[in-house]
């Protein structure tokens, strides 16, 4: 690994720009994500910037189980993010479907469709836990150990 | 003769690439950008990012994959950010900052004014070329805003040139301080927040309205170039102010200190205004510049021309 790549790895860990996506969550996790960006928790200390365009983002923050109507949006947005990128799943829904599991309109956990690097447990998780998840994803990006997308259910 | 030519060309290259050009400009630009983010955070009761943040943001963007959006030619997608960066770099090399090795030439103010317009022009073209509705709205807003903020800015610079009796930046920088300078400084400060797309004039890049404006579709290397170009633009504007309004100190070691202090003061001024205000609507900002900005423009030209 040469000096430029070393510098690049450090930069990837220090500058995680996030894009937040609700794939059918109850809005509980989204409120906690918003709280983690407020002055009290101040995610900018970690270099986090919330981006409005997925093309600027490094980390996709997903909340909610995947529903019939949000699948195309999730795959589209994931594909629009330039690599290297990581995915953080917030709360129980993207991990297991939670209380929505078994619903005819819910397709299932998010990790059946895109690779998830970090799971943050909770219903909803606390802002500290969300920040820890984003910091862990940034570390994964810095080490270059993010999961590659092998196969996607289209 | 050949050696003197070599020395002068080396001086020009140094002005472009080292000081006040690429290296010095980028370092200062990142410092100012960090200061703006940190000060905004502190004013909002947050801790804010560490000082290396803009540097690592830039490096990270350089190392990212670049996705070419559908419907845009790669020439425009890479060329417009590059043109914006190169034009800003040449503008920076022309600014008579202390220690600038560039030889000033008659009429370099005109070249500088043209180069200062290129980033805004590139931004407008980039927004329309990227075929995103957000980019197009951002580009249209940027075009409207450049018709507004340029009024006091150009008047201030033209008044300074008229006061000094020359279109050469080095002559203008050496002109003795007069009433023109005071009024021109006010007009310059009036246009500065809009020139830097800072609140309350952050209309072209309003993140709650048009995502990232003209930058929405840009990513990876082109986005890194656009961000660096913006950092350099910041340095050009504050350096130009410091260089043109500090003539009594020119040549002394104190000029360096005063230059940096004035630059930092301007950055703090723009940041505090930005943190303390909410965004104007486009017609409010336009109205502001064509009433108060126009008043400042008339005043500064009157002071310069009627003596």
pLDDT category of residue B245 using cuts at 50, 70 and 90? confident
Q: Is residue B199 scored above 90 in pLDDT?
A: no
From A79's Cα to the closest Cα of chain B, the distance in A is 10
The pLDDT value recorded for residue B102 is: 83
| Low-confidence residues of chain A: pLDDT under 70 | 149-154
Query: Do B60 and A58 count as a contact with CB atoms less than 8 A apart?
Result: yes
The pLDDT value recorded for residue B15 is: 81
Query: Do B49 and A44 count as a contact with CB atoms less than 8 A apart?
Result: yes
In this structure, what token pair is assigned to residue B129?
A: 């070329």
The pLDDT value recorded for residue B250 is: 67
pLDDT category of residue B306 using cuts at 50, 70 and 90? confident
Q: Does A55 touch chain B (CB under 8 A)?
A: yes
Which of A47, A53, A56 has the CB atom closest to B56's CB atom?
A47
Q: Does B67 touch chain A (CB under 8 A)?
A: yes
From A42's Cα to the closest Cα of chain B, the distance in A is 6
pLDDT category of residue B305 using cuts at 50, 70 and 90? confident
**B185-198 average pLDDT score:** 92
Neighbours of B248 (CB within 10 A): 12
Residue-by-residue DSSP string for B89-144: HHHHHHS--TT--PPP-TTHHHHHHHHHHHHHHHHHHHHHHTT-HHHHHHHHHHHH
Q: Does B40 touch chain A (CB under 8 A)?
A: no
**A84: which chain B residues are within 8 Å (Cβ-Cβ)?**
64-65
Query: Do A82 and B46 count as a contact with CB atoms less than 8 A apart?
Result: no
Exposure of A23 in the CB half-sphere (CA atoms within 13 A): 38
Which of B55, B60, B212 has the CB atom closest to A52's CB atom?
B212
Query: Do B60 and A52 count as a contact with CB atoms less than 8 A apart?
Result: no
**B153-160 average pLDDT score:** 92
The pLDDT value recorded for residue B3 is: 75
pTM given for the model = 0.92
Q: Does B70 touch chain A (CB under 8 A)?
A: no
Query: Do A44 and B41 count as a contact with CB atoms less than 8 A apart?
Result: yes
Q: Tell me how many residue pairs between chain A and chain B have CB atoms under 8 A apart.
A: 85
pLDDT category of residue B176 using cuts at 50, 70 and 90? confident
Which of A12, A45, A83 has the CB atom closest to B60's CB atom?
A12
pLDDT tens, B92-104? 999 888 888 888 8
Residues 82-121, chain A, touching B (beta carbon < 8 A): 82-84
Query: Do A80 and B56 count as a contact with CB atoms less than 8 A apart?
Result: no
Q: Does B218 touch chain A (CB under 8 A)?
A: yes
Pairing of strands A106-108, A66-67: antiparallel
**B165-187 average pLDDT score:** 87
Query: Do A42 and B46 count as a contact with CB atoms less than 8 A apart?
Result: yes
Q: At what angle do helices B108-129 and B220-244 cross, to 10 degrees?
A: 150
Q: How far out from the chain centre does Cα B106 lie?
A: 22
From B74's Cα to the closest Cα of chain A, the distance in A is 16
Q: Which residue has the higher pLDDT, B139 or A151?
A: B139
Rounded to whole angstroms, how far apart are CA atoms A43 and A55? 20
Which of B46, B66, B134 has the CB atom closest to A82's CB atom?
B66
Query: Do A44 and B220 count as a contact with CB atoms less than 8 A apart?
Result: no
pLDDT category of residue B1 using cuts at 50, 70 and 90? low
Q: Does A144 touch chain B (CB under 8 A)?
A: no
pLDDT category of residue B297 using cuts at 50, 70 and 90? very high
How high is the mean pLDDT of chain B? 89
For A38, phi and psi rounded to 5 degrees? -75, 165
The pLDDT value recorded for residue A150 is: 59
Q: Is residue B188 scored above 60 in pLDDT?
A: yes
Q: What percent of chain B has pLDDT over 90?
A: 58
pLDDT category of residue B5 using cuts at 50, 70 and 90? confident
């Amino acid at each position: 690994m040469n000096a430029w790549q070393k510098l690049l790895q450090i930069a990837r860990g220090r500058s995680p720009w996030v894009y937040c996506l609700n794939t059918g969550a109850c809005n509980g996790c989204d409120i906690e994500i918003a709280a983690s960006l407020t002055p009290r928790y101040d995610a900018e200390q970690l270099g986090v910037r919330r981006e409005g365009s997925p093309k600027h983002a490094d980390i996709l923050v997903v909340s909610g189980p995947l529903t019939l109507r949000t699948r195309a949006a999730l795959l589209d947005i994931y594909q629009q993010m330039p690599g290297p990128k990581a995915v953080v799943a917030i709360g129980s829904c993207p991990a297991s479907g939670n209380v929505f599991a078994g619903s005819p309109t819910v397709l299932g956990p998010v990790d059946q469709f895109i690779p998830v690097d970090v799971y943050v447990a909770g219903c909803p998780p606390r802002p500290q836990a969300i920040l820890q998840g984003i910091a862990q994803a940034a570390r994964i990006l810095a080490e270059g150990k993010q999961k590659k997308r092998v196969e996607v259910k289209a | 003769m050949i050696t003197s030519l070599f020395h002068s060309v080396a001086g020009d290259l140094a002005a472009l690439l080292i000081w006040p050009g690429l290296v010095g400009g980028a370092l200062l630009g990142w410092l100012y950008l960090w200061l703006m983010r940190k000060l905004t955070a502190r004013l909002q009761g947050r801790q804010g990012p560490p000082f290396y943040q803009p540097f690592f943001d830039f490096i990270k963007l350089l190392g990212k994959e670049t996705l070419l959006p559908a419907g845009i030619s790669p020439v425009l997608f890479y060329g417009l950010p590059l043109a914006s960066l190169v034009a800003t770099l040449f503008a920076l090399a022309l600014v008579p900052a202390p220690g600038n090795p560039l030889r000033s030439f008659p009429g370099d103010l005109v070249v500088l004014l043209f180069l200062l317009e290129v980033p805004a022009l590139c931004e407008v073209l980039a927004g329309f070329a990227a075929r995103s509705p957000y980019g197009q709205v951002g580009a249209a807003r940027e075009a409207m805003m450049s018709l507004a903020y340029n009024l006091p800015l150009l008047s201030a610079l033209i008044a300074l040139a008229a006061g000094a009796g020359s279109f050469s930046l080095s002559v203008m920088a050496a002109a003795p301080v007069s009433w023109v300078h005071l009024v021109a400084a006010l007009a310059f400060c009036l246009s500065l927040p809009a020139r830097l797309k800072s609140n309350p004039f952050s209309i072209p890049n309003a993140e709650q309205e048009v995502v990232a404006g003209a930058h929405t579709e840009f990513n990876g290397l082109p986005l890194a170039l656009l961000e660096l170009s913006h950092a350099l633009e910041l340095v050009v504007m504050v350096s130009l102010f410091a260089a043109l309004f500090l003539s009594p100190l020119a040549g002394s070691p104190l000029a360096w200190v005063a230059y940096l202090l004035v630059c930092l003061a301007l950055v703090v001024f723009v940041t505090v205004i930005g943190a303390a205000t909410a965004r104007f609507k486009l017609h409010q900002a336009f109205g502001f510049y064509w009433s108060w900005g126009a008043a400042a423009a008339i005043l500064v030209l009157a002071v310069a021309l009627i003596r």
